[in-house]
Each structure stands twice: as C-alpha cells, then as structure tokens.
Structure 1
C-alpha cells in the first residue's frame, strides 16, 4: 500500500486521576481528515476498549481476515502475539488503555475469556454500549468525547476492586529481575498456592503468572532496544537475564513474529517515528511501508 499524503493528526491524551487511575492508564483521541497507515502492533501490558468512527479501520490477529472495519467498539485483553491494523481515509478513533487488571472490573467477564480476540463492545456490555457510542460520535470536541468516556468508566468502576495480592504480585514481578523460580518465590511471599495465584491471574489479567512474566520480559527487551539500538544482541541477551541468545530469540519471535535483529533494524531505521496515534511510536508499532 502506497501511503497518500497525510493531513495533520490531532491527538489528545488524558491520564485519569483519583479512583479511576487504579484501573485506567490512558484515555486517548485521534482524528485526521486523511490518514493512510498499516502496520503490526506488538503486545502491550494493557487491555483496551476502542471506538472507531473512521472511514476505514481494521484490526485483527496477525494473519487473520480483517475485522472491525465498520463503526463501533471492541475490547481486547493482554495479547501474547502481534496483531495487524490498517486505516485509510478520514480517521477518528478514541479509547482507553487499561491497567493489566482493568478488564474484569469493567466488564464482569473473566479476562481469560477474551483470549487473543477483539470482541465487540455490544457482545461484552450489551445495550449500554449503543447510547455511549452515539454520544461519543455526536460530541463536537475531543475534550467532550473524553469527558463522556471518562464519566462512563467512572460509573462502571464504582465500588470495583481487585484482590490486594494481585496488585502485590504485579509490583513484585515488575520490581524483581527475572530468575528461575520467581513465580514460586512470589507464591511463598503471598502465602498462597500456585493454583490460587494462577486462577487470580487468569481472571484479572487473562494470562497465567508464567505467561505474564514472559510478556514482561518481552516488553523490557523491546524498551531496551528502543532506548539503545546500538547495544549488541549478545549484551542485550545477558542484560535482560536470558540464559543464551537462542532462548531470547525464541521468546521474542513468539511475541513479535520476528527476530530481535529484525526488530532492531526497524528501530534503527525509524527510531521514535510516530504518526501521532497512541502506541504507534516505537517500541510498540511496526509501520509497514510500500
């Protein structure tokens, strides 16, 4: 696909405060009179609720048939494989990046039920999604749209909570470098069984503790490569705590669908390139050209 000349892209990012910040990382809005873009989205540490009012927008798991091409909304949980997206013509999207545990308190659907799918908002929330979608489309300003979305989220999250040990586990795995047996060590700290921890992770995060650790390691590696594209893969392998390059390449390819070397080449050629859409700047988005 040969990109057409782009019109200016309006991007508005909002960080919630107060109780909503316990579940929501970022609210965002993007609009352009003409935007032509396609690429690969790498797995993130966020679930997402997205609304689309574009002329054409599609997003789907890598290699699947295009989905979500019309106006509407959809949810996605934590992903462990890349997805593809494409937009053409007039573009208007908005949405919310959720904390890793934000999906279940919002939808009352266990996070593991979403799998690797992009599930329509109507299928998840039922009739409440239609008036919300209409109100968002009719609001005249980006600020007005985000105000409506923020009020909806605040109402949905009222009195919501997650077990304290899920917060602790998330923090523990972020703070401690990876080592063999780290999940077992976490269970000892929490004084719960691995089975109990796995059940909580699947319900609130959609992944097992082991899968979540692998996702954390992948994100740490992409962040490190984006920050230091000159770092050799050998140095990066051991800096990130991998036993050898074969293990590193295997994990990276599983999440990104490409080798670390191919990803680093992209970073070097397009370092910090962005079209203004959330998460489309490195290290989360591979822009396809031509």
Structure 2
C-alpha cells in the first residue's frame, strides 16, 4: 500500500504548479507491477530512498534516476515496479508549467523522462539538496516553493496557449478545439504549433489523453460504476469506443487496466 499526501501550492505559484505529493510504501519484493498508460501529467519526482524500477517493452527493469523530470506520455509500453523503501516527493506542474519556468521545448519531453539536472541545468543541484535535507513533507514543500519563487520572475507570462491548456485540463478534454482556438484569438494552425511547443502534444491529442485519464480516475474512485455509464459521461460514443481508446492508450482493456492500477491500494492521509 502507498500512503499518499497531497498539498496545493501557494497561490503565487498556482499558475505553474498544480500540487505537491508524497508517496510512502514498503515492498519486500517486486511482485506487483503497474502499467504506465498515456497521461497528460508533467512532474519532477524525487526518490528519497529506493527509486522506482522502470521496465521498457522488450527490456528488463532498471532504476529510475534519483530525481526524474517526466513529460506528458502519449504512448504506452512501460511498467513500474516497486521494491524496498519507496519514499517520493513530487512537484506536479500545470500543462505549460515546464515551458514557462524553464523555457523547455516540450516536444523533446513527450514520452520521455530525464534526470532533472540534465534538463533544468543551473540551480538544480540547490533544489535537489534542499529537498533532501528536509525531514518531512512540509519542509520539502517549503524548500521547493522557495526555489520556484526565484524562477517566477523571469518566467514567461501567462498567455493564450496557457489558458487553452488549462481549459482542456479543467474540462477533462471535453471541449471543442476549434472553439478554443477562436476564443484564444489564434487560428487552429497557430494554436496547434504553439501548443506542441509549450505542452508537447497537439490540442486534440492532449484533450484525448485528458479524457482517458479522467475516466480512469473516476472508475478508481467509484469501482462499482459501469464502464458504459462512464463512457457516456466523459464523451465517448459508447463503451466500445472507450475499449478501443484504452487499447490504444494503455495496451489493454479497461477492466484489465483498472485491476492492475488497483493492485497497489493508495490511502490518502
């Protein structure tokens, strides 16, 4: 089981960070694996003791970097394994948070995970050591927020693409992309080009993955809900459409996927 804590950032950081989280778990052996399905999230994760083990298709397991920066995932094919004393601290970013803070070309981050120092560069060592010096969740949040505050000044200002990405996220992908482009005063082609650069996916792909992730989260919170009902609520044509999307974005059926995701319970504390 994972014990999970979640905390919202200070309001001055809420335009670039959605939340901070902590996961704690003890695993005597790597007996339960979790598939990595397509998902829109971008985050910086610190493994404070034993790192996750990552398996790529056709390859064996290897430990993740001690601090890993992860971009949005559009392609399934990896699995996570957990063994030992797993303690994580994670900074979860807004859809354009990485691009705004670090001027990253997000197409280079899609389906990728890198050691934080290799991408963020200058100043990263200070963040890493400050987080690891702390003994609790609150202290790590304070250390991360102090470091992030220093980067808010030179960060790119909030613009049309930032707004559009937030609308897609808040609507769980259930929004007209053409209408979104019109309201952002951009042509569909302009929105797509800028969205790729700042989010790492086209608006349509990003909305698709958000909708898929949202229906999975809804099922995790309500395991007895029927897939057909969830498909209708989240804008799929029918249950068969949801099954096709799940096979494409996770490589398995919805029921198999949810059972694998629920194999390691999570308790909010």
Same fold (TM over 0.5): yes
Q: Given the superposition, is the C-alpha separation of residues 100 and 264 from structure 1 closer, same or farther in structure 2, using an over 3 Å criterion?
A: same
Q: Deviations over 1:34-56 (max 9, x none)?
A: 43564224444420001123234
- Trace 1:33-44 onto structure 2 (pairs within 5 A): 34-36=26-28, 38-44=33-39
- Trace 1:10-21 onto structure 2 (pairs within 5 A): 11-21=4-14
Match of 2:212 in 1: 218
SS in 1 for 2:18: strand
Would you say 1:274 and 2:266 are equivalent positions? yes
Would you say 1:113 and 2:108 are equivalent positions? yes
Structure 1: how far apart are the matches of 2:82 and 2:215? 28
Deviation of 1:208 (Å): 0.3
Structure 2: how far apart are the matches of 1:124 and 1:145? 21
Structure 1: how far apart are the matches of 2:5 and 2:110? 29
Q: 1:22 aligns with which of 6, 15, 18?
A: 15
Match of 2:91 in 1: 96
Q: 2:144 aligns with which of 146, 149, 154?
A: 149
Q: Given the superposition, is the C-alpha separation of residues 219 and 236 from structure 1 closer, same or farther in structure 2, using an over 3 Å criterion?
A: same
Match of 2:243 in 1: 249
- Structure 1, unmatched stretches of 5+, are 1-5, 278-290
TM-score calculated relative to the size of structure 1 = 0.77
SS in 2 for 1:90: strand
Work out whether residues 47 and 76 of structure 1, in 8 Å CA contact, stay in contact via their aligned partners in 2.
yes
Structure 1: how far apart are the matches of 2:149 and 2:250? 34
Deviation of 1:161 (Å): 3.6
Q: Deviations over 1:136-167 (max 9, x none)?
A: 32333433232212211221222424443224
Q: Given the superposition, is the C-alpha separation of residues 154 and 259 from structure 1 closer, same or farther in structure 2, using an over 3 Å criterion?
A: same
Work out whether residues 61 and 117 of structure 1, in 8 Å CA contact, stay in contact via their aligned partners in 2.
no
Q: What number of residue pairs does the alignment pair up? A: 264
Match of 2:228 in 1: 234
TM-score calculated relative to the size of structure 2 = 0.82
Deviation of 1:108 (Å): 1.6
Structure 1: how far apart are the matches of 2:219 and 2:83? 30
Q: Given the superposition, is the C-alpha separation of residues 221 and 128 from structure 1 closer, same or farther in structure 2, using an over 3 Å criterion?
A: same
Q: 1:78 aligns with which of 61, 72, 76?
A: 72
Q: Which moved more, 1:123-132 or 1:229-238?
A: 229-238
Q: Given the superposition, is the C-alpha separation of residues 11 and 242 from structure 1 closer, same or farther in structure 2, using an over 3 Å criterion?
A: closer
SS in 2 for 1:160: coil
Match of 1:258 in 2: 252
Q: Which moved more, 1:210-219 or 1:60-69?
A: 60-69
Q: Given the superposition, is the C-alpha separation of residues 100 and 64 from structure 1 closer, same or farther in structure 2, using an over 3 Å criterion?
A: farther
- Trace 1:127-142 onto structure 2 (pairs within 5 A): 127-142=122-137
Match of 1:286 in 2: none
